[in-house]
Amino acid sequence: MGIPIIRTVAALRSAVAGWKAAGQRVGVVPTMGALHEGHLSLARAALAASDRVIVTLFVNPRQFDSPDDLAAYPRTEESDAARLAPLGIDLLYAPDPDQIYPPGFATTVTVAGAGEGLEGTFRPGHFDGVATVVAKLLLQTGADRAFFGEKDFQQLRLVQRLVRDLDIPAEITGCATVREPDGLALSSRNARLAAAERAVAPALAAALRKAAAAIAAGTPPEQAVATARAGILAAGFDAVEYLELRRDADLAPAAGAVEPARLLAAAWLGGVRLIDNMPLPR
C-alpha cells in the first residue's frame, strides 16, 4: 500500500486536525527529497517519538544560491514515496509551489547570529531561504516535533533559534549523522561524485576526526586545523572553503577543548560541494 501524498495546505491541515483532536502528537521530517538512509533514520526517529509522522518533500528554490545547483538537484518523488511506505509514515506532504510561495509572497525570515559565518558566508541568502521555508512547513503541519540531521549542524542550530525567537510551538530534535562504512556522511550530493572522486571523499571526515582527537588531546586548534586542511587538499580535494572550530551550543568561535565544540568544514571535490562536521571527543 502506498503512502498518502497531500499537495495542499487545506488538505494537510484537515488531516492534522483529526489527529490532534484525538490527542495524537505529530512529528515532521522536512526534506527536499532524493531520500537516502540519513533521511530514513530521521523518519524512524520521528516514528519512535510521535503518534503520527509527516515527511515533507519540497525542493526549495529560495535556499539555492546557484541556478545550476537548483536545476541539478534530483527530483525523485516516486522512489522517495516507495522508500517511505514500508516505514509506516502517515503521509507525504509534497506541496505545489504556490502552497509555499503563493503569488505576491513577500516575506523573508532572517536568523541573525546562527546564520552568519560558515555556510552563511559562502552561500549568501541560503539560510534566509531555509528559515523561511522551515517556518512555513512547521506552521502548515502544526507539528509538535521536527527532526533534523546533525550533518547540517549550522542549519540545526539556526532552526532551533528560529522556533525560540518566533514562539513556534515545535520541539526541534537533532539526530546523529549517518555515514557510509568508509566514513563519508550521507548526502544527496554524493550521487554526483565520479567513481574516482567518491574514493577520495571520505578523506574529509577522516581529517576532521583526526583533528578533533588532536585538539581534545591538547594540540592547539590552529595547528590541528591547518594540518586537517592540508590533508584534505593532499587527498585530492580541489578547495577547502572553511574549516573552523565552533562551540556546540551557539556556533561561536571555540578556544579549544575546554567546552563542547566541533569542527565544521566545507570543501569542493570535482565540482561537488561537500560539508561535514565532527564533535570533539569528551
Sheet holding 272-279, edge to edge: 239-247, 261-269, 272-279
Residue with cell 509572497: 105
Which of 29, 34, 39, 50 is catalytic? The answer is 39
Total residues found in the chain within this entry: 282
Pairing mode, strands 261-269 and 239-247: antiparallel
Catalytic residue list contains 39: yes
Q: Nine-digit cell at 243?
A: 574549516
Query: Residue 33: what are its φ and ψ, rounded to 5°?
Result: 85, -160
Q: Nine-digit cell at 174?
A: 537533532
The CB density around residue 125, as the number of other CB atoms within 10 Å, is: 15
d(CA 136, CA 258): 38
**54 neighbors 26 (Cβ within 8 angstroms):** yes
Q: Nine-digit cell at 88?
A: 509506516
* Residues with catalytic function: 39
